[in-house]
Amino acid sequence: MFPGVRSFLLGAALLVGAAPGVLSLLPPSTVAANGRGTVVFQGTVGPYQAQVLVFPPTPRVGSIHLTVRFQEGQGSRYISDGTVLVWATPLGQPPDQGMPAQARNTLLAPTDYEIDLPMPTAGRWLLTLQLEGPQGPARLEVPLDVKEAKAFPWVAAAIMAAVLGPLVLWGLYRIRREDRGRTRRQESR
């Protein structure tokens, strides 16, 4: 094996081994539910049957993922060529205050209109949805309880540091020891 390759491989293995643990402690900046979530509304809205899902199951301060599906009637096909506009306002304020955000569908999920919504504060929020499909517009208001964000997992970070710290130190010790041995061998030649 070439000089330094073993040290490099050991260092790379330590880095790759530690990365998932460290990354798991960081909060996600966006949420992706891919059509899954907790149903917060299912029923009739104007001429449509609609279903509204949120993810995570307990909405928290930060970002929530909203999925909307609607169809023309019970048992008919879901609509893939419609428009869904969303307003999120704290309860007690005008429901369509500010600019709406458009939920978008994709080629992979043409009947799922999805959007990530920022939730800056905890409390009761009102989601106002404007559905536009072949039968015309329909409006829906869905109340949503947003909880405080979870605190940073200090205990998990401490356990991870206690486990990974000695491994990293051992790896660094092995690298230095190998480098010293290589230097001594080169000096003796």
**What sign results for the dihedral spanned by CA atoms 75, 76, 81, 85?**
negative
Three-state SS letters, the chain: CCCCHHHHHHHHHHHHHHHHHHHHHCCCCCCCCCCCCEEEEEEEECCEEEEEEEECCCCECEEEEEEEEEECCCCCCECCCCEEEEEEEECCCCCCCCCCEEEECCCCCCCCEEEEEEECCCEEEEEEEEEEECCEEEEEEEEEEEECCCCCCHHHHHHHHHHHHHHHHHHHHHHHHHHHHHHHHHHHC
Q: Max CA-CA distance within the chain? A: 88
pLDDT reported for residue 34? 54
Q: pLDDT (tens digit, 0 to 9) for every residue of the chain, 189 residues total?
A: 555 666 666 666 666 666 666 555 555 444 444 556 889 999 999 999 999 999 988 888 988 999 999 998 777 888 999 999 999 888 888 766 667 889 999 888 899 999 999 988 899 999 999 999 988 999 999 999 999 887 777 777 778 778 778 877 887 787 777 777 777 777 776
pLDDT reported for residue 31? 46
Task: Determine the Cα–Cα distance for residues 175 and 91; give it in Å rounded to an integer.
Answer: 59
pLDDT reported for residue 4? 60
CATH topology (fold) of 38-146: Immunoglobulin-like (2.60.40)
Report whether 35 contacts 112 (CB < 8 A): yes
- Which of these, 52, 72, 47, lies nearest to 138 by C-alpha position? 47
Dihedral of the alpha carbons of 111, 116, 25, 173, in degrees to the nearest 10 = 80
Domain boundaries, the chain: 5-26+152-188, 38-146
CA-based radius of gyration for the chain: 26
pLDDT tens digits, residue range 31-75?
444 556 889 999 999 999 999 999 988 888 988 999 999 998 777
